[in-house]
Structure 1
Amino acid sequence: MSSARKIKLKLKAPKPRNPLVAAAIQRKAGAHRKSASALRHAEKQALKKQLREG
Structure 2
Amino acid sequence: MKLTLKTPKPRNPLVAPSLQRKAGMHRTGGGASRQQAQAALRREVERLRPSP
Give the alignment's TM-score, normalised by structure 2: 0.49
Give the alignment's TM-score, normalised by structure 1: 0.47
